[in-house]
């Protein structure tokens, strides 16, 4: 309940109408007064209605009051400031409740409340002084100060926020199974650019030497002998085609034959007839 009626002692027995209205004017609800007096709500309700209308009228007037800031009254109204602040917090404006009551000094206290959780409501409280220009409103608690000065609310949230947690360990990542290590590469800085060949290169077209004295390919006849043999074969074919005897039959030997071993033993060789 508003703070204005909480200082009174509980009322027991029958209440006079003036006492009922005085308690409600200072912030008590009809239900609270009926419970403290031990009477039914219907006995309180008739005396409470005029005072409740007075309180509602004061709350409506306070919406048009100008909030008092450190540098003077604001140009916009208290309702504008409250609506902008609660809109930044995502509060539905239809759920905002305005109320007013008189304090012990006779001045008006205005409270704005809105849902802030599952069961509790948040609220901001101002003092309200009506005048011909709409009146003035001054903050009475921290929530009202935060609404009037949004930069102060940001600073308070920054100070009250818990310090950041220290960084945790780095995330663990899956490492693939190690494969066979590659063979170490030789250090090319300490090696010559081209190592010398194990054997001198052979000319192109020649067979390469192999251990054991044999080559991979069969030995070829000299080029000159092959040419002469080919010429002799061509001449033989030509003689056969013409019906002539072989060419070597017409040759005459100009070089004397050397005596055989038999002729040397008997002392001569038989004479040959003329050719």
**What are 165-189's pLDDT values in tens digits?**
656 566 666 666 666 556 666 666 6
Q: Report the alpha-carbon distance of residue 80 to residue 12 in Å, rounded.
A: 43
Among candidate residues 61, 206, 186, 50, the one with its CA nearest the CA of residue 132: 61
Q: What is the pLDDT of residue 158?
A: 41
The answer to whether residues 143 and 122 touch, using CB atoms and an 8 Å cutoff, is yes
Burial of residue 96 (CB within 10 Å: 0-12, 13-18, 19+) is middle
The answer to whether residues 2 and 101 touch, using CB atoms and an 8 Å cutoff, is yes
For the chain, counts of helices (H) and of strands (E): 8, 6
Q: Which residues of the chain have a pLDDT value below 50?
A: 5-12, 155-161, 205, 207, 209, 213, 215, 218, 249-250, 252-255, 262, 274-275
- Which helix (H) or strand (E) is 41 found in, with range? helix 41-63
Q: What is the pLDDT of residue 155?
A: 47
Q: What is the pLDDT of residue 252?
A: 47
Distance of CA 92 to the CA centre of its chain: 36
Pairing of strands 97-102, 72-73: unpaired
Pairing of strands 136-139, 121-129: antiparallel
Q: Report the alpha-carbon distance of residue 111 to residue 62 in Å, rounded.
A: 10
pTM of the predicted model, to two decimals?
0.52
The answer to whether residues 5 and 26 touch, using CB atoms and an 8 Å cutoff, is yes
Among candidate residues 132, 119, 99, the one with its CA nearest the CA of residue 26: 99
Query: What 3-state class would DSSP assign to 125?
Result: strand
Q: What is the pLDDT of residue 191?
A: 57
Q: What is the pLDDT of residue 35?
A: 92
Q: Report the alpha-carbon distance of residue 250 to residue 237 in Å, rounded.
A: 16
């Amino acid at each position: 309940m508003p703070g204005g009626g909480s200082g009174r002692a509980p009322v027991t027995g029958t209440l006079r109408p003036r006492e009922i209205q005085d308690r409600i004017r200072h912030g008590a609800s009809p239900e609270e007064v009926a419970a403290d007096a031990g009477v039914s709500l219907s006995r309180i309700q008739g005396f409470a209605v005029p005072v409740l209308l007075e309180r509602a009228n004061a709350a409506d007037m306070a919406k048009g009051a100008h909030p008092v800031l450190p540098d003077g009254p604001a140009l916009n109204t208290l309702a504008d400031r409250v609506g902008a602040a609660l809109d930044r917090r995502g509060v539905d404006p239809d759920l905002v409740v305005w109320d007013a009551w008189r304090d012990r000094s006779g001045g008006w206290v205005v409270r704005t409340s809105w849902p802030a959780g599952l069961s509790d409501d948040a609220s901001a409280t101002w003092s309200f002084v009506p005048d011909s220009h709409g009146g003035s409103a001054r903050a009475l608690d921290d929530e009202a100060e935060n609404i009037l000065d949004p930069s102060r609310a940001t600073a308070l949230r920054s100070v009250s926020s818990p310090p950041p947690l220290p960084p945790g360990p780095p995330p663990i990542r899956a490492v693939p199974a190690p494969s066979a290590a590659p063979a170490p590469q030789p250090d090319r800085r300490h090696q010559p650019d081209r190592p010398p060949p194990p054997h001198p290169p052979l000319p192109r077209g020649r067979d390469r030497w192999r251990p054991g004295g044999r080559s991979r390919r069969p030995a070829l006849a000299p080029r000159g002998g092959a040419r002469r043999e080919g010429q002799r074969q061509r001449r033989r074919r030509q003689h056969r085609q013409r019906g002539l005897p072989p060419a070597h039959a017409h040759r005459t030997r100009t070089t004397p034959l050397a005596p055989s071993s038999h002729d040397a033993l008997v002392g001569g060789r038989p004479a040959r007839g003329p050719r």
